Amino acid sequence: MTQLIPTTSLDDQDRPVIDATRHNAAVRLAKGRYQILRRLTSGPLILMFLLGPWLTINGAPLLWMDLGNHVLHLFGLSFWPDDLLMLTWLAMASAFALFIAANIAGRVWCGFSCPQTVWSMMFTWVEENIEGSRNARLKDQQRAFLKRNLLKLFCKHTVWLTIAFITGFTFVAYFETGQGLWQGLIHATANHEVIFWLSFFTLLTYINAGWLREQVCLHMCPYSRFQSVMVDKKTLKVSYDVERGEPRKNKQPSDKTSDCVDCKLCVQVCPVGIDIRQGLQYACIDCGACIDACDNIMDSLKKPRGLIHFSDENPTTQTTSRRFKSWLPKERPRLWGYLAALCIALTLLGLQVLTKEQYEFHLSRDRGQLYFYQELNISNAFTLSIQNKTQQAVSFKVASLHPSLFIQSGSELHLIAGQKASLALRISCISNCPIKGKETFNLSISQHGTKQHELKGTFFAPTGL
């Protein structure tokens, strides 16, 4: 049986074996099943990202951070600052889902779904389709600038900037709504802040995906630095089968029939520029591009696929029963811990969403005088605040439940979806007011004749009447 021997451990953070050539401008696009899988995972995410500000549920975009009203609209639900706990559970659930993915299959998030990788691959695809293959691009890069194919260069940067602009526009539209931002731009009414953030995100996308690419993963992204704490011995990582591949054909003469022909395609397709044959490295984002490239070579040589493949640290022990046992909690305590944490976070999130109040009511006394006279009645001034946390417009009627008190002015409030509004209430006592000093009363708040809520207040009147 072949044995796979990683030459570095997952914890060996200090030794990325990165191709010394200027790699990011010369990545070769791989073709194969992992690249199809990446398109299948990233395609729907890109589509959702682009359509998010345009598609609406109950009149609000799928995702809209309405900073003016302090509301986050997310898939038909609205979250106010006092719903922060719910968002905390959502963030925790997302984080633990990421930890689980990392524990099972390393940095698959980075390789298959991370916007940095997906956008970089998109830009590389544009580059390859306009400027030609990796070899043609490398040749062109070696020429003096004015002798390069400037038309192709111009077209490439124009397409890059267009993609970057669409990305920046979509990102800003999450704060402004797609329609709002579009109207603001075509009628030149968008304010300076909007123009600034639109330019900022356009430029950021252009620089990150067009120029920096793997440098972001290697030097800026914190995730690669702490991913080693999430993995265990059973975590699947992209690995090179040293026993089968070494010694490489072009490296040293040997009697042993080894499979690696040292074509270096696995290095050329690697978006972070590492040579996986040097062993596991923290820079590897488990994108599977080297697997696809190598599988294609093995196919052409009529050799079995899998010289590079996903494997845990000890593939020789992978019998069926061992595989099953390796999923038991005592074998993978970290994974089961993450699963438990994910379930807890999702349960708490679900409970909070189900018990979420649709409206919030608050009654406060106006500062100043305790009571005053209005048309010969003793009156008190209050402010009733109502927050409509639904996506529908609503109307509320307010009535006093105290036999001696009535609402002299302000008894109806109309709110649009997601609105928070206040109503000035003048509550008065009937003539020959029986209240002396102070007395508590209840207000009924009803919607279409059905009582929604009851609020308590205190009414003040002169003591000596």
What is the three-class DSSP state of 248? coil
> Is residue 435 near ligand SF4 by the rule CB under 6 A?
no
Nearer to ligand SF4, 98 or 108 (CB): 108
> Is residue 443 near ligand SF4 by the rule CB under 6 A?
no
d(C-alpha 277, C-alpha 297), whole Å: 15
Closest CA to 363 of 451, 450, 405, 424: 424
What distance lies between CA 27 and its chain's CA centroid? 27
Q: Which residues pair with 311 in a beta bridge?
A: 237
d(C-alpha 120, C-alpha 313), whole Å: 30
Longest CA–CA span in the chain (Å) reads 115
Find the binder of ligand SF4 among 72, 102, 265, 443 (CB under 6 A). 265
d(C-alpha 81, C-alpha 37), whole Å: 38
Nearer to ligand SF4, 279 or 457 (CB): 279
Residues between 272 and 311 that touch ligand SF4 (CB under 6 A) = 272, 274, 276-277, 284-290, 293-294, 297, 307-308
Find the binder of ligand SF4 among 161, 216, 263, 370 (CB under 6 A). 263
Check if the beta carbon of residue 183 is closer than 8 Å to that of residue 141.
no
Nearer to ligand SF4, 249 or 420 (CB): 249
Return the half-sphere exposure (C-beta side, CA atoms, 13 A cut-off) of residue 16. Answer: 19
Q: How far is the CB of 274 from ligand SF4 (least distance, A)?
A: 5
Q: How far is the CB of 277 from ligand SF4 (least distance, A)?
A: 6
Q: How far is the CB of 118 from ligand SF4 (least distance, A)?
A: 13
Check if the beta carbon of residue 221 is closer than 8 Å to that of residue 116.
yes
Q: How far is the CB of 97 from ligand SF4 (least distance, A)?
A: 21
> Is residue 29 near ligand SF4 by the rule CB under 6 A?
no
Residues between 223 and 262 that touch ligand SF4 (CB under 6 A) = 238, 245, 260-262
Q: How far is the CB of 263 from ligand SF4 (least distance, A)?
A: 4
Q: How far is the CB of 273 from ligand SF4 (least distance, A)?
A: 8
Q: How far is the CB of 238 from ligand SF4 (least distance, A)?
A: 4
> Is residue 10 near ligand SF4 by the rule CB under 6 A?
no
Residues 6+ apart with CB under 8 A from 423: 383, 384, 385, 386, 398, 410, 412, 413
Number of residues that bind ligand SF4 (CB under 6 A): 29
Nearer to ligand SF4, 193 or 299 (CB): 299
Q: Which residues pair with 427 in a beta bridge?
A: 380, 407
Residues between 127 and 186 that touch ligand SF4 (CB under 6 A) = none
Q: How far is the CB of 279 from ligand SF4 (least distance, A)?
A: 10
DSSP 136-186: HHHHHHHS-GGGS-HHHHHHHHHHHHHHHHHHHHHHHHHHH-HHHHHHHHH
Nearer to ligand SF4, 290 or 435 (CB): 290
Find the binder of ligand SF4 among 181, 209, 270, 429 (CB under 6 A). 270
Residues 6+ apart with CB under 8 A from 406: 400, 427, 428, 430
Nearer to ligand SF4, 178 or 245 (CB): 245
Per the document, the length of the chain is 465
Residue ranges in contact with ligand SF4 by CB under 6 A: 111, 238, 245, 260-266, 269-272, 274, 276-277, 284-290, 293-294, 297, 307-308
